[in-house]
Amino acid sequence: MSRWGLRLLVAGGLAVSAAVAMAQSAEKAATPAPEKTSAQFDTAVFAEIPSFEGPELSPNGKAIAAKVAVNGTQYFAIIPLDGGKARLVGLGDADLNWWSWVNDEWLVIGIGQLVPYEGDDIYVSRALGVNATSVKLTKLSSRDAAQDADDVIWTASDGTPRILMASQTSLYTSEPGFWPQVDEIDVSTGRHKTVVRGNEGIFNWYADGSGAVRMGYGMSLDGRTRRVVYRDSAKGSFRTIDRARTHKEALTVPAMFLKEPGRAVMIADDEQGYSALWELDLETLARGKQLFATKGYDIGGLVRDASGFNYLGVYVNEDKPGIRWTDPALEAMHKTVAAKIKGGEPRIVSLSRDRSAAIVHVGGVNAPGAYFLYRAADDSMQFLKMNNSTIGLKRMHPVRTIRYKARDGLEIAAVLTLPFGKKNKLPLIVMPHGGPFARDTEEWDWWAQFLAERGYAVVQPNYRGSSGYGTPFTEKGQGQWGLAMQDDLNDVVTELAKLGIADPRRVCMVGASYGGYAAMRAAQRDGKLYRCAVAYAGVSDLNRMIGHDRNFLGAGARKDWLKMQAPDLKSVSPVHHAEEFSIPLLLVHGKKDRVVPPVHSRVMAQKLKAAGKDVTWIEQPEADHHFSRSEDRLEFLKALEAFLAKHNPA
């Protein structure tokens, strides 16, 4: 299995270039508000990948780890805050999936890549230790690691470079190594010590703040039955505390173990079906009092403290995403920072261990914004990096959430972006999100802002089946792929036309992933409503997705779930109905897409051409599912702009 090694390119001792420079301003003046603008920017401005992603402060607050963009290519970077030299790690063909500080000297990064195996390609994940000064890389996955070998479930809080990591040692279900074991690993040396051996049926392990592995989540090979095992301490025996035999049955799963023995907190639905935070008694599995909720919305998870036994805040995803700080000191810090921002929206994204320093993002729903370093000692805000070098702190096009009634009376929320200074009889882009278990909120969206810049109103409906609005709303999407979910998208056109915002004769649908599926479906089913459609990385054949999933753990449950998404998958799969397409369609797909295979768009294009339909097909040789390269973003936006100018001009 060691032949599956993934390579990263290390560049040590690089001077801090303009691409990763940390401006050393120590001004205590109030941060300026994002400016408003009505000037049109070049297409390349919107294709620029974020210059700074996921910045994480070291525990001592002296360095930042982040994904950075240099000339349109992404690197992993460790950036000292004392004016020293930044160090870059090139990603090559590997994905950089996550990164985390272990102590002030060492980090762990998770990488992944498709590799050939027995005539097929499989996605392999690995973990590496990275020294913050020398950028020395240490292999943390064992020599016999199999497919999944990067699941870090605990990091020591005492300053030592220790982690707990779960990993497979076999690809074959008949072998014990298929079920992940947990090892304690010294990140500085790569030395392993097994603390929990693989347990048949258990694929995910969870530890408490002290490093005791307390819980495991398991499923049958087909995924149709699930269970949770638990023990009181690192020396106890695991026992099954809950089982589920259908996909609808919820399991009792702690979200965090508390220091008090037998106590935890869990995230579970309230009586109306919205997720909330609750106390949990691990001995009786009895749910205690509600600790946190947001009316009418699900919550998004917990912000943990350094000990791993407490939480500092709760992620919320109302019309805007954010954090509600439950820790009084951090709530006070947030208010202090907010007072320094004139009209911007600050968000604390990372903290030093003693909370004396914080990385703050300042931006807004219509501004990509910038990152700053806040230091509590002198109450200062130090500029770090703009997210977009051209737009900077400028405000672009206004965004708000609207609500409308679908034809069956269901209320749907949608994010509406309008061109600056315009609001009547606009050409409209309906832009459904992917997932479909996902949602759009009021935050910076480079697609929507680009389209608004070109004069279009853009609406992003959170159609039935979307996440965040409670379990009943999600369940209303079951069996409705390409049916009522599609009707929800169409109904927003009627609503915006009634409000005088949209010209109902100039509407196009643009989407990616599931949104790309919806765009194809619109071109096939609803050509009288739309003038054109654009699908990036779209699904054209739902039965083909079942085939794609068949080699993964839980494929049986995934197959069951997909079959429940429509009465007949073939009838709602656009690839089988090329003759019904009645409007021009632009198809774009990355050849390196690891989520939706490019064959979905390739075959769709072939069938449409054979049927004499108006289809434009672009396969991007280096693109993935997530637009990780500026070149691919630019090619797509230029093709989108030209296609819309021809078929639905602003």
pLDDT tens digits along 29-46: 334 445 555 558 999 999
Q: Which residue has the higher pLDDT, 136 or 13?
A: 136
Q: What is the pLDDT of residues 598-625, one digit of tens each?
A: 999 999 999 999 999 999 999 999 999 9
- Dist. CA 476–CA 525, nearest whole Å: 21
**Is residue 4 over pLDDT 60?**
no
**Is residue 18 over pLDDT 60?**
no
Q: Where are the alpha helices (DSSP H) in 529-629?
A: 542-549, 555-563, 599-610
**Residue 439 — very low, low, confident or very high, per pLDDT cuts 50/70/90?**
very high
**Residue 25 — very low, low, confident or very high, per pLDDT cuts 50/70/90?**
very low
- Dist. CA 484–CA 467, nearest whole Å: 16
**Residue 547 — very low, low, confident or very high, per pLDDT cuts 50/70/90?**
low
Q: What is the pLDDT of residues 234-272, one digit of tens each?
A: 999 999 988 887 666 778 889 999 999 899 999 999 999
pLDDT of residue 562: 62
**Is residue 128 over pLDDT 90?**
yes
pLDDT of residue 544: 83
Q: What is the pLDDT of residues 156-172, one digit of tens each?
A: 999 999 999 999 998 88
**Residue 281 — very low, low, confident or very high, per pLDDT cuts 50/70/90?**
very high
**How are beta strands 502-512 and 532-536 bridged, if at all?**
parallel
Mean pLDDT across 209-218: 94
Q: Is 408 exposed, middle or buried (0-12, 13-18, 19+ CB in 10 A)?
A: exposed
pLDDT of residue 19: 31
**How are beta strands 120-131 and 106-117 bridged, if at all?**
antiparallel
pLDDT of residue 91: 77
Mean pLDDT across 547-566: 55
Residue spans of the domains in the chain: they are: 399-647
- Dist. CA 136–CA 115, nearest whole Å: 24
**Least confident residue range of 265-269, 392-396, 468-472:** 392-396
pLDDT of residue 549: 46
- Mean pLDDT in the chain? 89
Mean pLDDT across 58-65: 97
**Least confident residue range of 106-120, 281-295, 460-474, 522-536:** 106-120
| pLDDT > 90 fraction of the chain, expressed in percent and rounded | 73
**Least confident residue range of 2-16, 182-196, 330-344:** 2-16
Question: What one-character DSSP code corresponds to residue 90?
Answer: E
The CA–CA distances, whole Å, from 616 to 223, 433, 532, 574, 642 equal: 39, 22, 11, 16, 11
Q: What is the pLDDT of residues 64-100, one digit of tens each?
A: 999 998 887 889 999 999 888 899 998 787 889 999 9
**Is residue 559 over pLDDT 90?**
no
**Residue 512 — very low, low, confident or very high, per pLDDT cuts 50/70/90?**
very high
The CATH H-level (homologous superfamily) assignment of domain 399-647 is Alpha/Beta hydrolase fold, catalytic domain (3.40.50.1820)
**Residue 232 — very low, low, confident or very high, per pLDDT cuts 50/70/90?**
very high
pTM of structure: 0.89
Torsion angles phi and psi, residue 593, rounded to 5: -70, 120
